[in-house]
Amino acid sequence: MTLAGCLYGFGGGTGFPPHIKTVAVLPFDNLTSEASLTSEINRAVREAVEGRLGLRAAGESQADAIVKGTIQRYDPDIPVAFTGTQSQNVNVSRKKLQIVVQVQIIDQASNKILWEKQGLTVEGDYTNNESDGRKQAIERLITNIVDGAQSQW
């Protein structure tokens, strides 16, 4: 594995310092009425930073980096496709949902933000089962976090 040049960052960033080997994913604050989102998002983020970014899990006080965030909005019922006319009953055949979060990855040693995204909006489509759309949206959220974190390396 070649690491030459991997510490280059954009916008003045220096990338993740080489001492970042462990991570603690703190429970995301949840400003929505959908309580189960907290555990679903935290589990997915934890699995991604450990599996895809190769960081080991650690307790908050021992971790080199902290991942924390806020679930700012959850909108599960946005119509995408429908049938019918104004004079007839309208039948929604496909919907999308949106999740909006704020995420930070913080270096505990320096208390510097290594990566941050405000207003990160992800969507998922579904026909009958909202959980299908939620799963898609959370997968897109994870991809955004991993891609954003890796862009710093």
State the amino acid at position 39 in one-letter form: S
Please calculate the CA angle 65-41-70 and round it to the nearest 5 degrees.
Answer: 70
What is residue 140's three-state secondary structure? Answer: helix
What's the pLDDT at 107? 96
CA torsion sign for 30, 36, 38, 40 is negative
For tokens 């450990």, what's the residue?
Answer: 50
Domains and CATH numbers, the chain: 22-147 (3.40.50.10610)
Helices (H), the chain: 36-51, 130-150
- What's the pLDDT tens digit per position in 94-119? 889 999 999 999 999 999 999 999 99
Output the pTM of the full model. Answer: 0.81
**Higher pLDDT pick, 4 / 145:** 145
